Homo-oligomer: A and B are copies of this chain.
Amino acid sequence: MNNPLRVLIWNEYRHEKRNETVRAIYPQGIHGAIAEGFAGATDVIVKTATLDEPEQGLSEQAVASTDVLVWWGHTAHREVQDAVVDRVQKRVLEGMGLVVLHSGHFSRIFKRLMGTNCSLMWRDENEKQRIWTIEPGHPIAAGLPEHFELDHEEMYGERFDVPPPDEVVFLGWFQGGEVFRTGCCWQRGHGRVFYFQPGHETYPTYHNANVLKVIANAVRWAAPRVMLPDALRNVPALEPLSQTR
C-alpha cells in the first residue's frame, strides 16, 4: 500500500479525567501516549477518538475512514452503544484491523468478535511482568528482544476465555506465579485482530518503548489487505447440471 495507513486510536478516556495518578502518568490521555509511539512515522496518519465525543468518537464517517483501530477501554464498556459495536464489527469483517489493549478484553467489540466471555484471572498488586517473544519471525515481533520486563503491571492470568488464537506471539510471566497468552492473533472475516495484554492505567506501560513497538508493529500487521462487503450470493452453476437431476 502506498497510501498512508489511517490509524484511529480510541480511548475510553475516563480514568485520566477522574484519577490524579492516572492523569500524572498520561497527561495527554492513554490515547495520546500511544499516538506518541507513531511520532515521526511517515507511513501512517494517526488520529485519536474518545468515548465522550459525539457519536462516541466512532461515527459512520470516522469508522469508514479508518484502516486500523486501536482500542483501550475499562470502566465504561457498557456505555458503548449497539450502533457503534455493530459499525466497528462490520468494518472489521470487511477488512479493517483491530488492536485491542489490556482491559479491552472485556470490551463489547472484542467479545462480539470472539463469541466468548473473554474472562481471565487478575490481580492489581504492582508486580513485575516479563514478556517472552515466542515467534521472533512474526511481523508483530519485529525488532523486539527475546524478552523484556515491565516492572509494574497488573497480573492477567490464564485461563483466558478466548477461542484458540491463530497465532500466539508473546507469552507473559508474572512474579506472583501466573502465565498468560500475552499477544494473540485472530482473523475475523477479512479483518485481523490482535490482543495485547499489558497496559493498566495506573502504570506507565504505554511509555515503554517495547510496548509501543509491539503496538506499532501490530497496527501495520493488521493493515487491510482487502476491503470486501458482506454478501450472501445466489449464483448460477459453472458446470452443466442436467445429468443427475
Contact = CB atoms under 8 A, between A and B. Distances in A.
Interface of A: 89, 93, 95, 106, 112-117, 119-123, 125-128, 130, 132-139, 142, 146-147, 151-152, 155, 157-161, 163-164, 166-168, 171-179, 181, 186-191, 224-226, 228, 230-241, 243-245
B234 A119 contact: no
Contacts of A119: 230-233
Given A119-B231, A122-B234, A164-B166, 5 more contacts: A119-B230, A130-B238, A136-B226, A161-B189, A168-B168
22 contacts: A106-B232, A114-B115, A115-B188, A121-B235, A125-B241, A130-B177, A132-B159, A134-B159, A136-B190, A137-B228, A138-B225, A139-B225, A142-B225, A146-B159, A164-B167, A171-B181, A173-B173, A175-B237, A175-B241, A176-B237, A176-B241, A177-B237
A50 to B, nearest CB: 25
A164 B135 CA distance: 10
Contacts of A112: 115
A120 B119 CA distance: 31
Contacts of A188: 115-116, 163
